[in-house]
Each structure stands twice: as structure tokens, then as C-alpha cells.
Amino acid sequence: MWQNPARNIEIKARINDVKAIVNKVAELCKTEAEVIDQTDTFFKTENGRLKLREFKNGTGELIYYERPDTDGPKLSNYSKSMVTDPTSLKAVLQMALGTNGIVKKTRTLSRFNQTRIHIDEVVGLGNFLELEVVLQDSQTPADGITTAQLLLEILGIPASDLLSGSYLDCLNLL
């Protein structure tokens, strides 16, 4: 295990009425959302998941995370590193590790207190809500789960719409 990883409670759900969720999130957050185009390339690893996230401006992030594939809110331990040349890094990682797949999405990011609220339009899959409750050192996973469940209730997301895996898992099932 690693020392002092960043932690969040993450939950994903399918969205049936995007406009209604966008309106609820805007009302809740009372700030302008940020729209971000992202391409995530996942690499083969023995443990956890490693992805290179590329942005339109030519920068990126290398992200390693460990998270169970279970229904409902789940603890994710992660570490990120900013990347100024994602194209060459991707080539090196592909040669060294091989890839598991690519996820392309347009993400609308809003923030509410310690939670990042994403409304994602994933190419080939559709529309999703993702909550990331960023935990402070003094908080337990149970604290984050309580926050996530409260936000799901406020946004009107039923338990039947929750996902257990990642977008890549869903794409690989197609």
C-alpha cells in the first residue's frame, strides 16, 4: 500500500434526463460549470488502474487509482501527476505496458463543498453523473458515503441507476 494517497468516495450513475440533472446541479452549486473534453487511455497493470488523461490544450494527467468494483459509493485511493507532453508519454507507456482501452468524454464539472459533480457524456455509452467526495485527512470513508448518498437523494438519482464499474468496463461489455 502507498503512503498518504489522496482519497475520495466515488459513485457513478446513468442519467436518463440530462436536462433535469443539469438544472438541479446548477441550482445546487450556484456557480458556472466548466466543460472539459477528456480522452483517457488505460494501461495494463497488475494492480489498480493507470490512465493517462489528455486535454484539448495539449496537457494531461497521469492517474493511478485503486477502487473496488462494487455497487454504490466506494472508496478510491489515487495519485495524480501533471503531464506537459502526454503524446510521448502515452507512446512510452503503450510500449511498456500495453493498453486496455480508451474512454472519450465531455465532462461538465461543478463543485459543491468538497464534492466534484461531473455530468459526463461518454462516447459510445451515453450520459452519466459522477460524484467524487474528496475526503480530508480527518474524515472517514463513512463521512464521504453519507455526503454522496445525500447528494444522490437531492439530485433524485435512484439506486437502480448506479454503476458498479468504470466507463471502460461498460465499454468493454459492448
Q: How far is CA 32 from CA 42, 83, 112, 134, 158, in A?
A: 30, 26, 12, 20, 26
Q: Can you give the pLDDT at residue 149?
A: 95
Tens of pLDDT, residue by residue over 3-59, are 668 999 999 999 999 999 999 999 999 988 999 999 999 999 999 999 999 999 999
| Stretch 79-93: mean pLDDT | 96
Average of pLDDT values for 108-126?
97
Question: Quick one: CATH architecture of 8-173?
Answer: Beta Barrel (2.40)
pLDDT of residue 174: 73
| Average model confidence (pLDDT) across the chain | 93
* Reported confidence tier of residue 119, pLDDT bands at 50, 70, 90: very high
| Domain residue limits, the chain | 8-173
Banded model confidence at residue 164, pLDDT cuts 50, 70, 90: confident
Please, are residues 80 and 61 in contact by the beta-carbon 8 Å criterion? yes
Cα torsion angle, 5, 7, 13, 18, sign: negative
